[in-house]
Amino acid sequence: MSGAKSLNLRAGFYTEDHEAYRASMREFVRREVEPHYLAWEEARLVPRDAWLAAGEVGALGLSVPDEFGGSGESDFRYPMVVAEELAKVGATSYCLSIRLQDDIVLPYFLELCRDDQKQRWLPGMASGELIAAIAMTEPGAGSDLRGIRTSAVRDGDGWVLNGQKTFITNGINADVVIVFARTDPGAGSHGFTLFVVERDVAGFTRGRKLDKVGIAGQDTAELFFSDVRLGPENVLGEVGEGMIHLLQRLPKERLSLAAQALASAEAALRWTQDYVFERTAFGQRVGDLQATRFELADLATEVDVSRAYLQNAVIALNEGTLTTAEASKAKLWSTEMQVRVTSRCLQLFGGYGYMNEYPIARAYRDCRVQTIYGGTSQIMKEIIGRDIAERYSSYGQ
């Protein structure tokens, strides 16, 4: 119909406050990220100045309460805005680093810390002065965390921690690391505890900065713990409840990864649309070729339909009703969609898509890990499948 407006999926989802925040984030990205990002990729590390800049403009620690230096804002739409604005300039490594701290690590500190622990760690996490990580994966234990070997043994009123972790995001930069350790081998799922290990504690060392296929600027590392002595003030949450603490916070982690996937896929599609309608072949714009239009139609549909589900999941998260299965669906679909869309977008760039000077090439490398970390696609399918099966657990009985 002539003059009809296209469906605006963001209408009614983002408010004026979100859009005002977006304007400030766009300026922050233009000023502090875009001019420096490629240098960070070459150095394979995001510098601390970039963390401090994020804290200064409120891209970090938004959900930290006012008394600890944050804004006390828990609405997940704000982190989505940050992810979208960083995706537009292809700053995947930086986005992953700060979103790991805010969306994945920070909830543990906000919800499990005692008052003295909050005062100790939250102000620095809000300002960017403290960089955080969470260490779960080990060389022999990834998706099955019950197989970890890192252990903490009681010693008086404290603990002695020993073990090794790998693939740890922010591992080189981290000032505080949440470590998942076995504390009672005979207690099953109640035999694990979370500890906070600080940068300078004796016995805590970092291995190599791992050389990855993509997200080069994000520091991923091996961590080693040799007779690390920790006091009771370094226990996070309840002793023996570490596994429960993890499971309770996985939905938000997976939704964060899904949001990053969607933002990155949207950016890749936008770059591709701009490219094919600027470049000519066979006497016409590449975007006017039927084969190209059909491909763009498929890609735009995948991205838009993905946004519709994700937005509903975000609303559920804000309301406290998002289930593990629903978050797993968001993570499974969005990350697999990101890989499909980015790969097909690169194809439309032709040979230029394989050149690192084009953001689509970097996005192609960066996206592949999205279906692996935070729970592989196969694990997401298992979680969703179990949820379906449980509905029929009493069928026929």
Catalytic residues: 253
Helix runs in the chain, H state only: 16-28, 37-43, 48-57, 77-88, 92-99, 106-112, 115-127, 242-276, 290-319, 324-348, 359-367, 377-390
Spatial neighbors of 148 by CB under 8 A, at least 6 apart, are 136, 138, 141, 163, 180, 181, 182, 192
Q: And the tokens for 52?
A: 């401090």
Q: 289: exposed, middle or buried (C-beta count within 10 Å: 0-12, 13-18, 19+)?
A: middle
- What distance in Å separates the CA atoms of residue 151 and residue 132, rounded to the nearest whole number? 21
Whose CA is closest to 213, among 73, 334, 365?
365
* Residue 145 amino acid letter: L
Query: φ and ψ at 153, to 5 degrees?
Result: -115, 135
Residue 67 contacts residue 123 (beta carbons within 8 Å): no
Whose CA is closest to 253, among 9, 79, 23?
79
Residue 237 contacts residue 251 (beta carbons within 8 Å): no
Which residues does residue 280 pair with via DSSP β-bridges, in sequence order? 285
Rounded to the nearest 10°, the torsion over CA 157, 232, 142, 260 is: 180
Q: What is the 3-state secondary structure (H, E, C) of 44-88?
A: CCCCHHHHHHHHHHCCCCCCCCHHHCCCCCCCCHHHHHHHHHHHH
